[in-house]
Chain A
Amino acid sequence: MCAMAAREIVRKIVHCDCDSFYASVETRDDPSLRDKPLAVGGDPDKRGVVATCSYAARRYGIHSAMPMSQALRLCPELTIIRPDMAKYRSVSRKVQAIFRDYTAIVEPLSLDEAFLDVSDTSICRGSATLMAEEIRRRVRRELGITISAGIAPNKFLAKIASDWNKPDGQLTITPSEIEEFVARLPVDKLFGVGSVTAKRMRQLGLATCSDLRCQTLSQLTQWFGKFGATLHQLCRGIDDRPVQTSRLRKSISVERTYARDLPTLESCQEAMPGLLESLEQRIHDAGAERRIVQCAIKVRFSGFETTTAGMFAGEPAPAVFAELLQSAWQRGKRPVRLLGLGVRLAHPAVDRQLGLFDGVSEAN
């Protein structure tokens, strides 16, 4: 029996994705909302956007990230609920606790989405399909919301599969089905292919993965640079990325869209302390104080032109952001719609470098 070798070759990955998560939680708590168009998000009068919407709302053409005012125009009877993040986080923790009954290798992508590597799990006779069914049943029964699942030998296919029979559905792609499934897959389903790359591919006559497979690695690299190598693998259904239990945070940021444009540089400066405070809170929550290597600002002007500025700095000092704001604002010199502050983080290894003045008071 060569179970070891077989296990190394075929992995069992499950991608779980809650269906319209925030909206589902709200509907669970207020059943009168069931089957009604519902959007969770910001205030339409203050340029709020849709965070999640129910499937009933989607039928009106509403989707997440759409300005709430536009959503209201599409569907005047839309029910709007302000997000209650604390509640969603608590439900998310319970969902993840269910995942962990099946494997310790869980990679959360957000509150409502995660990859599970169940290759070594013996529950359900080791069948990932049965495990996914059981997980979905338990989430529905214990938490009152629905979740969809995709089961495949890698992350890329599992993620596509979970979307296939959404909502409240699942799809398994077995190793023998990969070939046929991927061949017909439209290129824009591949991660990393956004609207720009998709357009370029259309121009090159590449519509599906089987079109991509006809191209050599060097041709793909010539067209798409480094991404060509990834494409060469993906269009063959190959994706060796492991499920990572702790994803490395590379940056932390906060941003705010203002109900009314900030008209002047001074008004932007006045908005900074509040933003900086929430940034500091997030840095603290992540325990990342000592890993900061760079500070950055994002400024979106009234006409949606967006500019960013950054500098190397070891702490998110007000003076650093004041300087960045100054230089970013100069590029537009117009009212500002959105301000964002962020820090880039170094690899945790730098934390291992001890500092000379760590224990010494510099103030004397």
Chain B
Amino acid sequence: MKFTTNREALLRPLQLVTGVVERRQTLPVLANLLVVAKDGALSLTGTDLEVELIAVASGVTIEQPGEATIPARKLADIWRSLPESAEVSVTVEGDRAIVRSGRSRFTLATLPASEFPSVESGPGDVEISLTANDLHRLLDQVSFSMAQQDVRYFLNGMLLEITSQHIRSVATDGHRLAMCTLPHGAPVDDRLQAIVPRKGVLELGRLLGDGEENVNLFMGSNHLRATSGPFTLTTKLVDGKFPDYEKVVPRETARTISGDRDLLKQAFNRASILSNEKYRGIRLILDKDQLTIQANNPEQEEAEEVVAVEYAGERMEIGFNVSYLQDVLAVLEVDEVRVSVADANSSALIEGVGNDEALYVVMPMRL
């Protein structure tokens, strides 16, 4: 196999595909990228057996077709370190890959392409097409709420739900929940639900642009495939039952405050500096048209912020993990937010005023 290309043509595909490769692998070949040159095209594949990413590179001249696997991280590191716009050639001879550029030469150890595993993917049951921008929003508005290494393994991912009316993403770590709904259905009976694992969500987010270009999603019973331009990402789905998220979205909320997102965000950011570094608890005091935010830490240092809001209910106090509130205010792209609660022991509903695309539910902390 031999191909020549410009550094820039392969840089981004190489970095994205390498992102899928785990730092510690169970099989040596999983540290490598599958490089296939045939029919005038070059494709790069990285996998960890759960998520597989294929990039088809353009601007590559194939001089001799073939296939091999090349150490991913080393190849990406070399590529990145080459001078800008450098011309590079890659030749595989026997079990060696030789990268040449200008007066640089690197010889890397390869493994046979036949050892490279592919992620099983049957035919997709449902196909849905949406813009990269829409899919990006579905991911970004909720992915921060996914659990991480939770024993409730079905929380370590994002629920993707498709009905004939909408496509919806939901993520929760058991303490807070995020949900984003777009009016963009597909012809399905009832509703189709799939849990995309955390890594699949993060990698998909990395390769998506923000434009109007189309992304095709194929959803099967145990995998999801997304194709976007030169990239094809296939991820296994989490085999489990996602909690009934609709049950935890509060309906009866007696008290509602609304206020300026930026002012609230900045007040929380400042108060959080003096909250307990680990547990992040803060106290909110709601009173007539005024919200007081208090934080203190084990050193007994204290912060107090007073923010003007609209609130007509009785005085009440409620505690929260400030990080959960900061996360929500960071992704809500609106001028004004509304927070609704029933009492100090029930969940709070946070929404953007005039934008019902996303909603957030946060459980309080006992004061």
For residue A364, give the distance in angstroms from its CB to the closest CB of chain B.
6
Q: Does A353 contact B (CB under 8 A)?
A: yes
Docked complex Cα distance between A314 and B151 (Å): 6
B365 and A357 form a contact (CB under 8 A): no
Chain B residues contacting A311 (CB-CB under 8 Å) are 149
Closest to B344 in A: A354
Contact with A along B62-80 (1 / 0, CB 8 A): 0000000000000000000
A347 and B279 form a contact (CB under 8 A): yes
Contact with A along B350-367 (1 / 0, CB 8 A): 000000000001011111
B363 and A360 form a contact (CB under 8 A): no
Of B150, B241, B361, B365, the contact of A352 (CB 8 Å cutoff): B365
Contact with A along B240-281 (1 / 0, CB 8 A): 010110011000000000000000000000000000101101
Chain A residues contacting B247 (CB-CB under 8 Å) are 360
A355 and B174 form a contact (CB under 8 A): yes
Complex interface residues of chain A between 328 and 364 (CB less than 8 A to chain B):
347, 349-350, 352-357, 360, 362, 364
B175 and A353 form a contact (CB under 8 A): yes
Of B151, B175, B276, B319, the contact of A355 (CB 8 Å cutoff): B175
> Chain A: interface residue count, which band?
20 to 34
Chain B residues contacting A188 (CB-CB under 8 Å) are none
Q: Does A317 contact B (CB under 8 A)?
A: yes
Q: Does B177 contact A (CB under 8 A)?
A: yes
Given contacts A312-B149, A313-B151, contact A353 B321 (CB under 8 A): yes
B279 and A350 form a contact (CB under 8 A): yes
A354 and B365 form a contact (CB under 8 A): yes
Closest to B172 in A: A356
A364 and B244 form a contact (CB under 8 A): yes
Q: Does A261 contact B (CB under 8 A)?
A: no
Given contacts A349-B276, A360-B243, contact A354 B363 (CB under 8 A): yes
Q: Does A320 contact B (CB under 8 A)?
A: yes
B248 and A356 form a contact (CB under 8 A): yes
Docked complex Cα distance between A28 and B329 (Å): 68
Docked complex Cα distance between A364 and B247 (Å): 11
Docked complex Cα distance between A315 and B149 (Å): 12
Which of A313, A350, A354, A355 has the largest number of chain B CB atoms within 10 A?
A: A354
Docked complex Cα distance between A349 and B319 (Å): 12
Which of B148, B172, B279 has the largest number of chain A CB atoms within 10 A?
A: B279
Closest to B174 in A: A355
For residue B26, give the distance in angstroms from its CB to the closest CB of chain A.
11
Complex interface residues of chain B between 219 and 248 (CB less than 8 A to chain A):
241, 243-244, 247-248
Docked complex Cα distance between A133 and B241 (Å): 65
Docked complex Cα distance between A347 and B297 (Å): 14
Q: Does B169 contact A (CB under 8 A)?
A: no
A356 and B279 form a contact (CB under 8 A): no
A357 and B149 form a contact (CB under 8 A): no
Closest to A351 in B: B366
B281 and A356 form a contact (CB under 8 A): no
Docked complex Cα distance between A147 and B345 (Å): 49
Closest to B364 in A: A354
For residue B19, give the distance in angstroms from its CB to the closest CB of chain A.
22
Which of B276, B361, B365 has the largest number of chain A CB atoms within 10 A?
A: B365
Contact with B along A250-261 (1 / 0, CB 8 A): 000000000000
Q: Does B198 contact A (CB under 8 A)?
A: no
Q: Does B38 contact A (CB under 8 A)?
A: no
Docked complex Cα distance between A350 and B247 (Å): 24
What is the total of A-B residue contacts with beta carbons within 8 Å?
62
Of A317, A319, A356, the contact of B363 (CB 8 Å cutoff): A356
Chain A residues contacting B149 (CB-CB under 8 Å) are 311-313
Closest to B152 in A: A314
For residue A4, give the distance in angstroms from its CB to the closest CB of chain B.
21
Q: Does B347 contact A (CB under 8 A)?
A: yes
Docked complex Cα distance between A43 and B28 (Å): 47
Chain A residues contacting B137 (CB-CB under 8 Å) are none
Chain B residues contacting A350 (CB-CB under 8 Å) are 279
Contact with A along B162-198 (1 / 0, CB 8 A): 0000000000101111000000000000000000000
Docked complex Cα distance between A179 and B321 (Å): 48
For residue B198, give the distance in angstroms from its CB to the closest CB of chain A.
13
Of B321, B347, B366, the contact of A356 (CB 8 Å cutoff): B347
Contact with B along A169-186 (1 / 0, CB 8 A): 000000000000000000
Chain A residues contacting B244 (CB-CB under 8 Å) are 360, 362, 364
Docked complex Cα distance between A354 and B361 (Å): 12
Chain B residues contacting A356 (CB-CB under 8 Å) are 172, 174-177, 243, 248, 347, 361, 363
Closest to B175 in A: A353
B363 and A355 form a contact (CB under 8 A): yes
A360 and B279 form a contact (CB under 8 A): no
Chain B residues contacting A312 (CB-CB under 8 Å) are 148-150
Of A349, A354, A357, A362, the contact of B345 (CB 8 Å cutoff): A354
Docked complex Cα distance between A349 and B282 (Å): 12
Given contacts A349-B276, A352-B319, contact A317 B151 (CB under 8 A): yes
A352 and B172 form a contact (CB under 8 A): no
Chain A residues contacting B366 (CB-CB under 8 Å) are 352, 354
For residue B226, give the distance in angstroms from its CB to the closest CB of chain A.
28
Closest to A348 in B: B279
For residue A147, give the distance in angstroms from its CB to the closest CB of chain B.
36
Complex interface residues of chain B between 275 and 292 (CB less than 8 A to chain A):
276, 278-279, 281
Complex interface residues of chain B between 46 and 100 (CB less than 8 A to chain A):
none
Q: What are 21 A-B residue pairs whose CB atoms fall within 8 Å in the complex?
A: A313-B150, A313-B151, A314-B152, A315-B151, A319-B151, A349-B276, A349-B278, A349-B281, A352-B365, A353-B363, A353-B365, A354-B175, A354-B365, A355-B175, A356-B174, A356-B175, A356-B177, A356-B347, A357-B243, A357-B248, A362-B243
7 more contacts with CB within 8 A, not counting A313-B149, A352-B279, are A314-B152, A347-B278, A352-B366, A354-B175, A356-B174, A356-B363, A357-B243
The 4 residue pairs across chains A and B that have the minimum distance between CB atoms:
A349-B279, A352-B366, A312-B149, A354-B363
